[in-house]
Amino acid sequence: MKLIQRIGYYLGGFSIGLIFLAFFLRGKNTSCDYGPNARTIKNIALKKKVYSKEALATMQLYDLDTTAVSNLIWSGNVNFSKSQTKPEDCKTYVIENSLESKEVVIDVENCDSLVTIVLLHFK
């Protein structure tokens, strides 16, 4: 078998495989969150959230609602050097983002089934 025939068979099989993948994965909420930041943000964002009194006071002061805080979490970056990732039960993460040219730092306590927004800082 000539090299060009091998390449043709390879590309034919590869394209059939892509069609099968597109067919089976269409309509499913699949995502490829491989990095530690993306995995942590997704884990936090998809759980039920509870807000502390301090966080609610800051949200009221800056006229933020829960949707705005969720958007800040989704688009934020986890600062792992300031986070406490060693505890077994609830880990504490520091998520950094910006809102209207102000830096926002969100302290989040991530437990098994619940996320507590502990504190919001504006710098």
Fold type of domain 36-122: YaeB-like fold (3.30.2310)
pLDDT digits (tens, 9 = 90+) for 24-42: 777 667 667 788 899 999 9
Question: Domain residue spans in the chain?
Answer: 1-30, 36-122
Residue 6 has pLDDT above 90, yes or no: yes
Which tokens sit at 10? 């390879």
How much of the chain, in percent, has pLDDT values that exceed 70?
A: 96
How is residue 17 annotated by DSSP?
A: H
Residue 123 has pLDDT above 90, yes or no: no
Residue 112 has pLDDT above 70, yes or no: yes
Q: Which are the contacts of 111, defined by CB distance < 8 A and separation ≥ 6? A: 89, 90
Q: State residue 28's pLDDT score.
A: 66
pLDDT digits (tens, 9 = 90+) for 35-79: 889 999 999 989 999 999 999 999 999 999 999 999 999 999 999
Q: State residue 48's pLDDT score.
A: 93
Task: Please state the rounded mean pLDDT for residues 86-98.
Answer: 91
**Helix/strand number for the chain, H first, E second:** 4, 5
The rounded mean pLDDT for the chain is 90
